[in-house]
Amino acid sequence: MSDEPSLTYYRYRISRDPKRLVAWFTDNWAHNRKLRAASYIGGFAVVTLVLAWATLGRNLPDAESLLEYETPLPTVVRGIDGEIVHTYARERRVQLQYVDFPERLIEAYLSAEDKTFFSHGGVDITGTANAVIDYATKFGSGERAVGGSTITQQVAKNLLLGDEYSVTRKLKEMILATRIESVLTKQEILELYLNEIPLGRRSFGVQAAARAYFDKDVGDLDLHEMAFLAILPKAPERYGRERHRDLALVRRNFVLDQMVANGFIRADEGAAAKRLDLGLVRQRSERSADAGYFLEEVRRQLIEKFGETADDGRNSVYSGGLWVRTSLDTELQDAARDALRAQLLSYHGNRGFTGPIATLNPDNGDLTAQLASSNISINYEDWRIGVVTAPGRVGFTDGEEHTLSGGPSTLKVGDVVATVKSGNGYAIRGVPKVSGAFLAEAPQTGRILAMQGGFDSRLGSFNRATQALRQPGSTIKPFVYAAALDQGMTPATQVPDQTFCVWQGANLGEKCFRNFGGGGGGVHTMRWGLEQSRNLMTVHIADDAGMDNVIKTIARLGIGEYEPYYSFALGAGDTTVARMVNAYAALANWGRQNEGSVIDYVQDRDGKVIFRTDTRDCSGCNMEEWDGQPMPRFDVSGRQVMDPRTAFQMVHMLQGVVTRGTAVRLRSLDLPLFGKTGTTNGPTNAWFVGGSPDIIAGMYVGFDQPRNLGGWVQGGNTAATIMKRFVDATKDRWTAEDFIAPPGIRMVKIDRRSGKRVFDGSPSDEPTAAIIWEAFKPDTEPPRSTRSDAIAAKRNEILELIRRGRQGATSAANSGRDDEPSDFVEDQGGIY
């Protein structure tokens, strides 16, 4: 017979024992005062607990919302080559799946935070009891008690409740934890926890923390590094700081001991890991291309489209986890930055210190802390931004202070300055007060390849490439000439270089225009007038074409909306570098204009494209099988804003500006470039806009509050120099292929000076060539040159030489100057 109790025995005990308990309770209730008191207290406690559970649990967040929870993720920005160039993030976050977390990393967190995680139902009774006892002993002391929270409770706190320190929050946390356990699997809970737990250094989740503390991915962490990350949830701001290194070592070693005790690692592995130092790296800024102005423009556009925070929608910039492909070309961007800076520093010369970058108020507290929160910095050679903390002393954002030399007597405490290491201290450096902008664009697409809106975006966010309204000077002239070409004139049309006056009414009287530096006279071809940037010829051309037609052309290309006044034909209206570059891009693209863009497309966190700049349709591109028809192609992009033939004529004429005109210093690049210089009255602005068939660039130099740059400053010697530096630094990116003429253009040999057609001789690219190729629309070609024309031209040339000889060398030089004087002195002995 078996010694084990039978089933009948268990049934007997189950039915008999409760009856005996009830009988005992009934017999003693009337005579036992302690039993009655304990019963009342116990019953009250149970009712209270049930009511509290029902009350607190009634308005709690829905645990099922975690099924659709999405980790707030930063926006990642890629350049034109697909490489990551920046991240828009206020917190470090990287989302991983459960399978991506190393097993030992999970075991480290279980040992540190919740060793019974896989066996409890959300709440660890033993841990909770210990927390209650600890809370009772510390009540009223102001010291925070041990939490006793499981990993599930921490998920409830971090994602659904917040970090309020109270008994009520703890009870809510417990209720939610049990509900979460009924909704999510243990693996899903751990995945949320390891992706969301705050771990210091602005890091949320273990992958972000691994990068912040060790500059590694989680898969590359060593055992002692995993143990360190596991101690951070308790006190990330304490254990992550160097001054608490000893405390961190003790806590890390405790976690290693727990891993040994739990059977996760061998004792010798734990001992070996405990002998190692923490191995923390210094905090590093997020990697980013040095393209602050460009990236800020991208950020501004993204916020406008998708919002800034999670409250603005699922695809917000700082929590939506967007992937953004931009048109940023880092090679061209670096060259643009360096070229503009070099010219600004060249202009600055030996002026030295020109005043503080900013001024902080010493009454507002620690100056170095104020400097750190101001985000003012610089990325130029080994310069550092500091703040004057005392006479002859400078402080930096890391709290260090050093001696400062080279500062003027006017320097005062609170002034923010640029410095460079000098001996045992630092010497002051002058950031140029003059500024400017540079922008490069691909004409066939409108993609902006580089953008530099000043010396350094860290000194101020104002983007002069897109926000500064400046007078473009003579860079507007190609569009005046284009309007004239549309009205029937040709590059060979003869135009007077003579005084032009207009009556402006009784109040303003008569306005007479003049060439830069005076001078003028005679009649010349349109080409010559553009190459030499003759103001008088431009006003005559605007008058012949009609100012209404001129301003319509300017407006159609997006440069600006102006009144039909002749001064606007000379560049008196305000515009931006971005608009001018986009207009010149239309010239290089046969008159077809694409809107300038910095964003190619945007993908959400799931990889779905939610925005695309290029919205062209390609019917049949996604067909499953080829239908035997011609290959499907995209429609042509952009809109036609100018006759393609007119656009090419302007480009062909503007190549002469580089060959022998005001931008002649670019001729040594030996590339098929076109462009136009510009200098406004004062001069207050010096411009150049132009480029090749593939890259159009525009730039200017000027003070933010316009003032005289100095009489020697011209677009040809200042702005064009920036262009030359830019091309020299990126020579491998420039094609030697010339601009292609559109259908309907006839290339005709003409006499360069007279504009008459010739049939003998060969055209040449030499600057002094007597015969050149000129672009004409059908039936607008000039007649053939005659013997009498040649005699008359030679006579006029001789008379002009005699006149110049009488005026003297100085007068001769001035009479050849205009808006921008050419660096090339033309040979007067041409062949006719």
Q: Which residues are catalytic?
A: 113, 474
* Other Cβ atoms within 10 Å of 374 Cβ, number: 15
| Residue 799, token pair as written in the block | 């008379």
Q: Are strands 425-429 and 415-422 parallel, antiparallel or unpaired?
A: antiparallel
Taking CA atoms, 541 is separated from 370, 569, 654, 806, 812, in Å, by 57, 9, 16, 31, 25
CA-nearest of 663, 331, 296, 289 to 465 is: 296
| Residue 372, token pair as written in the block | 């750190």
Residue whose tokens read 């919302």: 65
Q: Largest Cα–Cα distance in the chain? A: 145
What is the CB-side half-sphere exposure of residue 532 using CA atoms within 13 A?
25
Round to whole Å and give the CA distance between 648 and 743.
10
Question: Which residues make beta-bridge pairs with 448?
Answer: 441
Determine the Cα angle at 515 with ends 653 and 582, to 5°: 40
Peptide bond before residue 683 is cis, with ω within 30 degrees of 0: yes
Taking CA atoms, 620 is separated from 624, 627, 634, in Å, by 9, 9, 10
Round to whole Å and give the CA distance between 660 and 665.
9
Residue whose tokens read 């659904």: 160
**Torsions phi, psi of 730, nearest 5?**
-130, 35
CA-nearest of 589, 594, 632 to 615 is: 594
- Expressed in angstroms, the distance from the first to the final Cα of the chain is 136
Q: Which amino acid is at 198?
A: P
Round to whole Å and give the CA distance between 359 and 387.
8
Q: How far is CA 513 from the centre of its chain?
A: 43
Q: Are strands 92-93 and 203-204 parallel, antiparallel or unpaired?
A: parallel
Taking CA atoms, 674 is separated from 491, 577, 649, 682, in Å, by 15, 17, 11, 26
CA-nearest of 289, 593, 273 to 449 is: 289
Q: Which amino acid is at 373?
A: S
- Assign residue 507 a region (left: φ > 0; alpha: ψ between -120 and 50; beta: otherwise): alpha
What are the residue ranges of helices labelled H in 184-277? 186-196, 206-214, 223-231, 236-239, 245-261, 267-274
Round to whole Å and give the CA distance between 242 and 740.
64
